[in-house]
A and B are shown apart, each in its own frame.
Chain A
Amino acid sequence: MRELRIHGRGGQGSVTAAELIAVAAFEGGVFSQAFPAFGVERRGAPVQAFVRFDDKMIRKRSQIYEPDYIIVQDSTLIKDVNVFLGVKKGGIVIVNTEKAPDYKVPDGVKLITIDATSIALKVIGLPITNTSLMGAFAAATGEIKFSALENALRHRFPKELAEKNIEAARQAFETVKRAA
């Protein structure tokens, strides 16, 4: 079983990201499970969302403490929350930031930074970074195919919004692929 933990703030779409990653993974033939851990339900408050991937039906319901993958939607969270807690050796951490990191990820963990906010502002016109980060996740981990992500986005959003989000995801996907 592989596990993903997403850290974000209310309104950034962490829960939607978890759901759509699970949908895309399921299309790719794995059993997946996505669920949120709400703090207080309001914009801006720290939120976590989780995804599990396995080759059999997933029974476990606890939150994710030792993830293989971490997505940090908002790098200011790094100061407030120990977002890297428990990440497995060989794991991958994706952080939305425009700056060079002034923090350290644990040994043996790969850090990928991407300026998803700028991509989202440019392509969608709103600082909602989840779809860009989903593209980055697809490129960095291979857990989901980009085409499956596209299908999941088309299924979820009205046409115009879906296309914008797919474009944001594609730009992030290609940025991460190029850097690899």
Chain B
Amino acid sequence: MLEITEGSLAVAEAVRLCRPQVIAAYPITPQTHIVEALADMVANCKLDADYITVESEFSALSACLGASAAGSRTYSATTSQGLALMFEVCFNVAGMRLPIIMTIANRALGAPLSIWNDQQDSISLRDSGWLQFYAEDNQEATDLHYIAYRVCEDPAVALPAFVCFDGFILSHTYEPVEQLNQADVDKYLPKFAPKERLDAADPISFGMYATPEYYHEFRYAHDKALKDSAAVIKKAGEEFKKLFGRDYGAMVEGYLLDDAETVIVAMGSICGTTKDAIDEMRATGKKVGLLKVRVFRPFPSEELSKALAGAKRIAVLDKNISLGSKGALALEIRDALYGSRVSVFGYIIGLGGRDVRKKDIKEIVALAEKGQGDIFYGLRKEVL
């Protein structure tokens, strides 16, 4: 049944239904409502979990690391500077192959200080070895949590994941969301039963040091597990569709792609506004489509190059910038399409909460048609 609720509360409810046993988090705008709601559920016996209050994000993820190693289903949430403070622990969690799920309410990184949305925070951790999912709306944001636990706890994967949804734009938006019920979630998500865990009766260490004879191979194995998780995501998405009707089998999703000459590629909530803009452009005869990237890690190179094969030109929207280079998504797409004749144009857009409107999407399509790309879109020249 559809219910109208705030994105953060919808995510908190989905997390509750996943039955996490340990939650450790530190509040930070715009993630706060999620962890407040979960703390409330634990305090009021609606969720049987240990909620560990900590003094920083570094401690939050460290507590999660220990709990996950001890065999608990573990959850955290953060954003922006909070995620930056977790940087070291993120690499440890992934290297120890612990399936922690963490919601990122995407927000810009300072300085200058900004509480508003872009995706610089999670993108900056693209090399940390976590899976990364990006949600277009709050339905997808909730559903991706079930899928993330299911995929990450699969022994073949054994990796952590970020479930990213745009701060404020989704986290603080009230809109209809269909929630699953406990019996259905229990059917989809078996108990977390890792083969090895911290246990005083059967001691084991996690994340020991690796000499140069081994480190290289550990990284190879980690990379392979992350790449191979693509097949597990596909299976988990298909199973989800069979049970609940919504399809997450693919890591990318096309919108009016078939005959599209210009294809916009984007991640997150910007895809909704883009679809509305595409409908209007289609009505005037422009052959435009969208390819939404739902999974950024593992990067779906194969799916992407297949989906984009028929396009004349690609306009990539990046709510991030690898300073000194280009937008992260544009770089990856160029790599995926290397050797093909399709032109790829990158646009940095919507940083630090700059609003993105339908007319912006149309203007970007016009720029791509003129062959102008690799720019910061919509600069206010008067302040430069």
Contact = CB atoms under 8 A, between A and B. Distances in A.
Interface string B157-189: 000000000101110111110000000000000
Q: Which of B169, B172, B175 has the most CB of A within 10 A?
A: B175
B33 to A, nearest CB: 12
A61 B4 contact: no
Nearest to A57: B176
21 contacts: A23-B4, A23-B174, A26-B176, A31-B175, A35-B172, A35-B174, A36-B172, A37-B168, A41-B29, A58-B175, A58-B272, A59-B276, A60-B273, A60-B358, A61-B166, A61-B273, A61-B356, A62-B273, A62-B357, A62-B358, A63-B357
A96 interface: no
Given A35-B169, A36-B168, A41-B29, A61 B176 contact: no
Contacts of B173: 33-35, 61
Given A19-B6, A38-B168, A61 B174 contact: no
A21 to B, nearest CB: 9
A59 B271 CA distance: 8
Q: Count chain B CB atoms within 10 A of each CB in A23, A32, A36, A60 and give the residue with the most.
A: A60
A32 B177 CA distance: 11
Contact of B357 (A33, A35, A65): A65
Given A33-B175, A61-B270, A62-B357, 9 more contacts: A15-B172, A19-B174, A35-B173, A37-B168, A57-B176, A60-B272, A60-B273, A61-B173, A62-B356
A22 interface: yes
Contact of B355 (A58, A59, A62): A62
B169 A61 contact: yes
B285 to A, nearest CB: 22
Contact of B115 (A32, A34, A41): A41
Contacts of B166: 61
A37 to B, nearest CB: 8
A73 to B, nearest CB: 18
Contact of A60 (B6, B172, B276): B276
A57 to B, nearest CB: 7
Interface residues of B, number: 24
Contacts of B305: none
Contacts, number: 64
Interface in A96-147: none
Contacts of B172: 15, 35-36
Interface of B: 4, 6, 29, 115, 137, 166, 168-170, 172-176, 269-270, 272-273, 275-276, 355-358
A32 B3 CA distance: 11
Q: Which of B6, B173, B270, B357 has the most CB of A within 10 A?
A: B173
A60 B272 CA distance: 5
Nearest to B356: A62
A62 B271 CA distance: 11
Contacts of A31: 175-176
Contacts of A59: 137, 272-273, 275-276
A86 B363 CA distance: 21
Most buried by A among B168, B174, B355, B356: B174
B269 A22 contact: no
A22 B169 CA distance: 16
Contacts of B357: 62-63, 65
A31 B137 CA distance: 14
Interface in A22-78: 22-23, 26, 31-38, 41, 57-63, 65
Contacts of A38: 115, 168
Greatest chain B CB density within 10 A among A19, A23, A31, A59 is at A59
Contacts of A33: 173-175
Contacts of B115: 38, 41
A62 B175 CA distance: 14
Nearest to B138: A33
Nearest to A15: B172
